[in-house]
Chains A and B, each alone.
Chain A
Amino acid sequence: MTSDTEIRNRVIAVVTKEAMIDADKLAPDALLADLNIDSIDMVMMLQGLEEEFGIYIPVEKSMAELKTVGDLLAFIENQIKAKG
């Protein structure tokens, strides 16, 4: 059984690599817009997550409503739990 902490660390590793953001900037309440995470970064992240976790996450409407790093990580982790 994979622990939540381990999943979070792996997700953060993907996000930092694909969106080219320093891990120390990924505070839960940091705004994605302030970090310049745009739609291209999101698609790159989804590709990285497929390679790391073997799950396919399509772009869906709720992704446009993600505002903070915390929202983003929670969205990804929910997808991993649902599909992993």
Chain B
Amino acid sequence: MRKDIAITGIGSVTAAGIGAPLLWQAARDGRSGIAQNPFDWEAGNLIKQTAKVPDFKAEERFSRSELAVYDPFTAFAVVAAEEAIAQSGITAAQLAGPRTACIIGTGLGGATTMDANLHKIYALHERRVDVFSVPRVMPNAAASHIGMRHHILGPSFAVSSACSSSTQAIGLGLQMLRSGMVDRAIVGGSEAMLSAGVMKAWEAMRVLTPDFIRPFSQGRNGMVLGEGAAVIVLERSAHVTARGGKALGYLMGYGTSSDAKDLLRPDPEGAASAMRQALADADVLAEDIRYINAHGTGTALNDSNEVRAARLVFGQHADHLPMSSTKPIHGHVLGGGGAIEAVISLCATQNGFLPPTINYLEADPDCDMDCVPNQGRAADLPYVMSNSLAFGGINASLVIARA
């Protein structure tokens, strides 16, 4: 069992509000942040329900010069990082320098800025686009801005692998720490894509539900997209002890795999491979895992695929292994989703409580695992897993232990 890498800070900005405690409370209580939200302009959108961050008020948080270069995906990540770093108790002097990494995943980067530009150019025929479009749109903008605010001089980049982006970002941080490349890592992910044109593109994929997101349930017919960010501070456990810090939990293992079969249709062998690698990396047995925070998108294909994959890995233990999806709470946040769900997974271990899968109607024989339907419950959770299964066939899993 590997407890060499500690989690010392968490932060999130989600539809549940600003701050990881609000995210955990919403997940625990099964309170959804999904609502019908209007777009800034008309693009013929049929689906308008999203999981939007409420009351973010970027103009009150950032200076004029920061606002000029912060796409919302950067702003969300910066706020989540401030919370996580503050909680870790790492001093500014400890954080600064070349021994800290900053890796922030995102699927689409500055999609809001890009969509607004296209609207201005092609629909409104305006001559002026957003002057700082290029640095706002680049997917590494969030990592760079967090780095600049905290003088982080080590490795800094974005991971972009659709829905697996931030799970891979967290996993890379773990590997960099273990390799000795850095002493601490600010890792996570962010996404802000709830603008009319981006949503229209998702609509065309037919994976958005027009009614309710019901992971693992009979009658499920799609996901709801969300926005937000989550950031985690990773440190070598020995360092945490030496500086008198406190571990919230441990990041024990990471596994990732590629289906290399179909761009959109998931494959249970690929997902199973990522889960097995994460267990091996953590040096735990399948039976040690007491909860899985599923990718659980609520689409017809994902959920049955994920259950089949979990059954391949966990065998008979899957009969007693709860696997819930919290996406009906915070929406599918794409490149931010894995980090948001890792935060929830950690909170589940700390609180000894299984967050429910809400909106559940009745059992689907193709999803025959306990998805903690509708009502959360207390449980002893020493070790848990969090999965991300992305378009492109990219799978990633984390194993997290309580402190």
Interface residues of A (CB under 8 A from B): 39, 43, 46-47, 50, 56-61, 63-64
Closest to A60 in B: B221
Interface residues of B (CB under 8 A from A): 46-47, 203-210, 220-222, 264-265, 299-301, 304, 364, 366
- Scoring A43, A56, A57, A61 by chain B CB atoms within 10 A of each residue's CB, the highest score goes to A61
Cβ-neighbour of A43 out of B206, B209, B299, B301 (below 8 A): B206
If over half of A's interface residues share one DSSP class (helix, strand or loop), that class is named, otherwise mixed; here it is helix
Contacts of A39 in B (CB 8 A): 264-265
State how many angstroms separate the Cβ of A8 from the closest Cβ of chain B: 22
Contacts of B207 in A (CB 8 A): 58-59
Q: What are 7 contact pairs spanning A and B, CB under 8 A?
A: A39-B264, A39-B265, A56-B47, A56-B203, A59-B299, A60-B300, A61-B364
- Asked if B206 and A46 sit within 8 Å, CB to CB, the answer is yes
Closest to A40 in B: B264
Closest to B208 in A: A58
Contacts of B301 in A (CB 8 A): 59, 64
Contacts of A58 in B (CB 8 A): 206-210, 221-222
If over half of B's interface residues share one DSSP class (helix, strand or loop), that class is named, otherwise mixed; here it is loop
Contacts of B220 in A (CB 8 A): 60-61
Given A59-B299, A61-B364, CB of A50 within 8 Å of CB of B208: no
Contacts of B205 in A (CB 8 A): 43
Cβ-neighbour of A57 out of B204, B206, B265, B366 (below 8 A): B206
Once bound together, how far apart are the Cα atoms of A57 and B203, in whole Å?
10
Closest to B203 in A: A56
- Asked if A63 and B46 sit within 8 Å, CB to CB, the answer is no
Other A-B contacts than A56-B203, A58-B207, 6 sampled, CB-CB below 8 A, are A47-B206, A57-B206, A58-B210, A58-B222, A60-B220, A60-B221
- Asked if A63 and B300 sit within 8 Å, CB to CB, the answer is yes
Once bound together, how far apart are the Cα atoms of A7 and B300, in whole Å?
27
- Asked if A59 and B206 sit within 8 Å, CB to CB, the answer is yes
